[in-house]
């Protein structure tokens, strides 16, 4: 004799064994299963037939587990990755504005210095371009970055970029073209300003890669995942 409740309990056990977590999403799936069974029975199917149809329609446990795993596990890690990216970009912006703006503005607006208009424009660009790149790269890098669907690989690329970002800062800070006597030629000074400004821009770009990859993957994966699950 078919026992519907026992069959549902067995289905729950199979879902749990496959790794579908309780209460969410297992409870939600069970509610769906029960609604479908009720609907099938109203259409004239026996409890056993209705259960069979509903279980088939809801899908296989391992496939469901695979899909849910893509969402639940990474969310906390995603927050950490985003936080790390925000810190990198915030530090980069702060340093760009704090260190580079006085240098650039001094050249642009200082009347005592004999500098050409072209040099002044260049100096202003030294300030504006890195800040613009920093902001735009944070906001839109996910559109340029590839969608890496392999999560460990995506995370690894992000971590490598964070490490690269720190190494880059260390490298540039200790290799800026300073003169031992403290005197700078104009070209040296401009190179100094450029490297100092670009240093933080590179930091922002590299620091934002981890977050950008996550964003790219999450934005483009919804439809692809459903497709993969049906193939």
Three-state DSSP state, 181: coil
Residue from 18, 21, 67, 115 binding other proteins (CB under 8 A)? 67
Least distance to other proteins from the beta carbon of 77, Å? 12
- Dihedrals φ, ψ of 165, to 5°? -60, -45
Q: At CA 65, angle to CA 155 and CA 142, rounded to 5?
A: 30
The residue among 187 and 231 lying less far from other proteins, judged by its C-beta, is 231
Q: Which of residues 23-52 bind other proteins (CB under 8 A)?
A: 25, 27-29, 31-32, 34-36, 39
Residue from 42, 44, 75, 175 binding other proteins (CB under 8 A)? 75
Q: Is 226 exposed, middle or buried (0-12, 13-18, 19+ CB in 10 A)?
A: exposed
Interface with other proteins: number of residues (CB under 8 A):
33
> Do the beta carbons of residue 1 and residue 52 sit within 8 Å?
no
Does 9 bind other proteins (CB under 8 A)? Our answer is no
Cβ neighbours, 10 Å, residue 50: 20
Which spans of this chain sit near other proteins (rule: CB under 8 A)? 25, 27-29, 31-32, 34-36, 39, 57-59, 63-64, 67-68, 70-72, 75, 218-219, 221-227, 229-231
């Amino acid at each position: 004799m078919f026992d519907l409740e026992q069959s549902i309990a067995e289905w729950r056990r199979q879902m749990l064994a496959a790794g579908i977590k309780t209460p969410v999403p297992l409870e939600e799936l069970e509610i769906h299963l029960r609604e479908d069974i009720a609907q099938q029975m109203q259409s004239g199917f026996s409890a056993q037939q209705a259960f069979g149809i509903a279980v088939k329609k809801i899908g296989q446990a391992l496939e469901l587990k695979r899909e849910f795993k893509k969402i639940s596990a990474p969310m906390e890690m995603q927050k950490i990755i985003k936080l790390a990216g925000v810190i990198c970009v915030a530090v980069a912006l702060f340093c760009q504005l704090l260190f580079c703006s006085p240098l650039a503005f001094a050249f642009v607006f200082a009347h005592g210095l004999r500098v050409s208009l072209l040099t002044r424009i260049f100096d202003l660009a030294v300030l504006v371009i890195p800040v613009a790149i920093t902001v735009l790269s944070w906001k839109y890098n996910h559109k340029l970055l590839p969608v890496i669907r392999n999560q460990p690989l995506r995370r690894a690329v992000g971590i490598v970029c964070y490490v690269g970002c720190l190494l880059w800062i260390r490298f540039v800070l200790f290799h800026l073209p300073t003169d031992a006597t403290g005197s700078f030629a104009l070209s040296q000074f401009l190179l100094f300003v450029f490297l100092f400004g670009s240093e933080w821009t590179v930091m922002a770009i590299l620091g934002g890669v981890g977050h950008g990859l996550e964003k790219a993957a999450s934005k483009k994966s919804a439809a692809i995942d459903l497709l993969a699950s049906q193939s």
